[in-house]
Amino acid sequence: MNRAEISSKMSEKTSFNQRWGTPLKIREDETPEICRRRAMAGAVYGFLGGSAFALLAGTIDALLLRDLPIYTDWSSLLWRWIGLGLVLMVVGAITGWFTDNPKGIIIGAATLALAMLVFALSQTSYSLVASATLFFVMVLPVSASCVPIAMALRWLVNRHTAFIEAGGKTRAVKVVFLGLLALLLGMFPAFFTRSSGKAETSLRVMHTLLQEAAAGDMNTRLGARLEAAPQLNAHLGMDFQLGQRTSMISTEGYEIILVFADGFKATCTLVAYGDQKPYVSLCADEIVGP
């Protein structure tokens, strides 16, 4: 091997080290115990990141839209927290188990993609054949989208292992820093789950319409829609909270979920075309859809 080839190899190694920090050496004495320790670190960081995402994503609107009575379904939030936390805990353990970085990342990303697709398809009413076909079509692109998550987990595991092996008085502080970083990495994408501009506008319009109706100033369109929702009409004036999701019956609409103080729940669909002010399309004395 000439000098140019040696220099090229060293340059590639330096670039890899800059991306990943201290690399994990593939040693002949690699034991299941060493793999287990890495897997445990990955599981902890995965659970922290998944928990941060689930908790913030479930409360982001309530935190940011403080002037609106936003409804938080704590029971559903608890299950999402447990579910996502456990899934990413398993993904983190798998990503950290393997000595080889690429192998851990690829298998970890594939595991996360598998969990996401199984959950998504379980929420649909597709036939078994249609679900299987969609699964095989989507598994590769979804796995590719999960690679950054697996890369972040592997980087945290690598840094954790390096800090533990290096020892020193600041080892605990460095590990705590990695834990905080895992929380921040989980929280960052959660900020993008907040209500869109149109969804927020729909929430505000619905809030204003209900307040005006309670004060005796009923909007004509809302009044007509309330004829099909007598229980909702009877609850006007009672304290309520709002939630929203993309409409199942309108491509340009949002389903505003109304939760009243006595536990009664109703739904109003608001349609928001372009820059026009959202208007009430229909109301029902129940939660529409799943």
**What tens digit of pLDDT does each residue of 65-82 get?**
999 999 999 999 999 999
What's the distance, CA 259 to chain centroid? 24
- Look at 41-55, 75-89, 113-127 and tell me which has the smallest mean pLDDT: 113-127
User: Does 289 score more than 60 pLDDT?
Assistant: no
- Look at 20-24, 115-119, 192-196 and tell me which has the smallest mean pLDDT: 20-24
In sequence order, which residues have a C-beta less than 8 Å from that of residue 39 and are 6 or more positions away? 92, 93, 94, 96, 97
Per the CB < 8 A criterion, the answer to whether 52 and 186 are in contact is yes
User: Does 237 score more than 60 pLDDT?
Assistant: yes
Q: DSSP H helical segments within 215-270, as ranges?
A: 220-226, 230-234
Residue 225 CA to residue 171 CA, distance in Å, equals 63
Q: Is 69 exposed, middle or buried (0-12, 13-18, 19+ CB in 10 A)?
A: middle
The whole-number pLDDT of residue 200 equals: 92
The whole-number pLDDT of residue 2 equals: 54
Residue 290 CA to residue 287 CA, distance in Å, equals 8
The whole-number pLDDT of residue 249 equals: 74
Per the CB < 8 A criterion, the answer to whether 23 and 100 are in contact is no
Task: State the chain's mean pLDDT as an integer.
Answer: 86
User: Does 10 score more than 70 pLDDT?
Assistant: no
Q: What is the mean pLDDT of residues 122-139?
A: 79
171 or 180: which carries more pLDDT confidence?
180
The whole-number pLDDT of residue 7 equals: 53
What's the distance, CA 241 to chain centroid? 23
User: Does 147 score more than 70 pLDDT?
Assistant: yes
The whole-number pLDDT of residue 156 equals: 95
Comparing CA positions, the residue from 97, 108, 60 lying closest to residue 80 is 60
Comparing CA positions, the residue from 236, 200, 242, 199 lying closest to residue 218 is 236
Kindly state the helix (H) or strand (E) to which residue 11 belongs, with its residue range: helix 3-20
Backbone angles phi, psi at 238, to 5 degrees: -85, 150
- Look at 8-12, 161-165, 173-177, 245-249 and tell me which has the smallest mean pLDDT: 8-12
Residue 161 CA to residue 157 CA, distance in Å, equals 6
Q: What is the mean pLDDT of residues 152-171?
A: 88
